[in-house]
Amino acid sequence: MRLDVQVLGKHVATLFRERDDYVLKYNRDATAADFVSLTMPVREEAWRWPRDLHPFFRQNLPEGYLLNLIREQFGPLLDGTDLSLLAVVGAMGIGRVTVTPEGVMPGNELQALDVQDILHGDNTAEHFASLVREYARAAISGAVPKFIAPQADASGASEPMPLGKPTIRTSRHIVKGSDDNTPFLGFNEFYSMRVLERLGVAPVARTQMSDDGRALIVERFDVDARGLPAYGVEDMCGLLGLPPHEKYNSTSEKMLNAARAYLLDRDSMRQQLEHLGWHLLTNYVVRNADCHTKNVALFYTSVDDVAFTPVYDIVTTQAYPRFAANPPGLPIDGRKTWAAGKTLERFFNTRMGIAPRQYAQMVEALCDSAVAVGHELIEAARNEPQWRNVAKQMLHAWDDGMASLRSPKKSLQFKGLKPAIEAAGFSAPEPPEHAREVIGRSPLLGKRN
């Protein structure tokens, strides 16, 4: 099997398997600007990767729930290799690169979708699953139910737009839903992201929450105003040479070093490091244990303007008992702990050039924002009782997050969320699921007298 690789609609390379290697071979007419990945610039010699697809091509492959749907629907087209999976989903995905079977032009035949139907419609698990199944052919990574769909214009019809020789439909949004383990995930992510977004200190992906709080519409930052691919996007997992299932198998230090290698604009380096700093700190405040190497990425139009993407995928994972005991996704100074103490401050100072005084100001700004958004959460849960439980869990998690970051000597003078939680009548948080288990004792044994 051989696949055609296009950059912004131009066929620039061929991807194929040769014995135990996967091979990317650029065409003779490919120019330096036609590079597929920052890690694989245009050259005459082929780029080989042993046994598996190159990490760049694996970054958008579906995982978990999405992968199972792909196997269910397109099983006859799959031969058990990631190359065949890429042949099915590679024509539509995140970034400026598309991949299609040899001789097939990039494009899609997916039905256009009006996002208003998501924002104001039925987002129950059963209905959302049918939508994910319908749009499963778009390449997007992640374990939760989500999809990319061509958008409909105001008249309800999709508008074909030219991109080089092929024609594709516009797609400006990612649609994310909830599952049994993460109820009202749209509500959770919308308000978790808002803690950073309302400060205006770093770019944040724009989102809209559905009326029922189950779904989230995320505006893509890799496309232009018409929804056409404009930016290359590469997550830190691929840039570190890791397969997606090893997205937690790195460190904050390695991730930062890998990013520095491609941030060539020295004038904007400090701004970029502060951007990453705000991102990392927000995860500690809202207790997001899912910040791994796939949830931090770079984007660009050329090698000269590489920057961190707007912040995305921030969720209060501690709000869900099944994940409440999880530590941070990436260690700092060899430790994965929410009680980072001086370790986090030292990392900011020595690795990112953010002095302790500025670090403390960033912490307090985020804590103040968490308190403000916390009151918004309370009001939202008052108006919609079905959100009350997840809101309660989020508020307790944020209060823990703020307390763990603030200096113990100064924390008494700062307000947290406890007074608001008590005033709203919220009970104590539900314990993590693991707390109900007894390690080393079989659940099949009878209870002791």
Q: Is residue 118 part of a domain?
A: yes
Confidence of residue 270 (pLDDT cuts 50, 70, 90): very high
Do 282 and 165 lie in a common domain? no
Per-residue pLDDT, averaged over 239-255, amounts to 95
Q: Which two tokens stand for residue 219?
A: 């505006």
pLDDT of residue 413: 56
Residues 127 and 254 in one domain: no
Name the CA radius of gyration of the chain, rounded.
Answer: 23
Question: Is residue 230's pLDDT more than 90?
Answer: yes
Within 13 Å and on the Cβ side, how many CA atoms surround 395?
31
Mean pLDDT of 167-176: 68
Arithmetic mean of pLDDT over the chain: 86
Average pLDDT estimate for 134-157: 60
Q: Is residue 59 part of a domain?
A: yes
Give the pLDDT band (50/70/90) at residue 166: very low
pLDDT average, residue stretch 228-242: 95
pLDDT digits (tens, 9 = 90+) for 314-330: 999 999 999 999 999 99
For residues 348 and 337, is the Cβ–Cβ distance under 8 A?
Answer: no
Same-domain status, 279 and 413: yes
pLDDT at residue 436 is higher than 50: no
As a whole number of angstroms, the distance between CA 153 and CA 139 comes to: 23
User: What's the domain range around 366?
Assistant: 240-423
pLDDT digits (tens, 9 = 90+) for 67-88: 777 777 777 777 778 888 888 8
Q: Is the per-residue pLDDT at 112 higher than 90?
A: no
Q: Determine the pLDDT at residue 236.
A: 97
Residue 126 lies inside a defined structural domain of this protein: yes
* pLDDT at position 142: 62
Structure tokens at 271: 């701004």
The answer to the question of residue 226 being in a domain is no
On whether the CB atoms of residues 214 and 182 are closer than 8 A, the answer is no
- Number of structural domains, the chain? 2
Q: Which residue has the higher pLDDT, 108 or 423?
A: 423
* Residues 299 and 163 both lie in one domain: no
225 in a domain, yes or no? no
pLDDT for res 110: 57
Number of C-beta neighbours around residue 99 at 10 A = 24
pLDDT band at 382 (very low <50, low <70, confident <90, very high): very high
On whether both 67 and 159 belong to a single domain, the answer is yes
Task: Verify that 255 and 163 share a domain, yes or no.
Answer: no
CA proximity to 366, closest of 237, 137, 130, 193: 193
Q: What is the dihedral of CA 150, 154, 156, 158, to 10 degrees?
A: -40
Instruction: Tell me whether residue 46 is exposed, middle or buried, using C-beta atoms within 10 angstroms of its C-beta: 0 to 12, 13 to 18, 19 or more.
Output: middle
Q: What is the pLDDT of residue 155?
A: 38
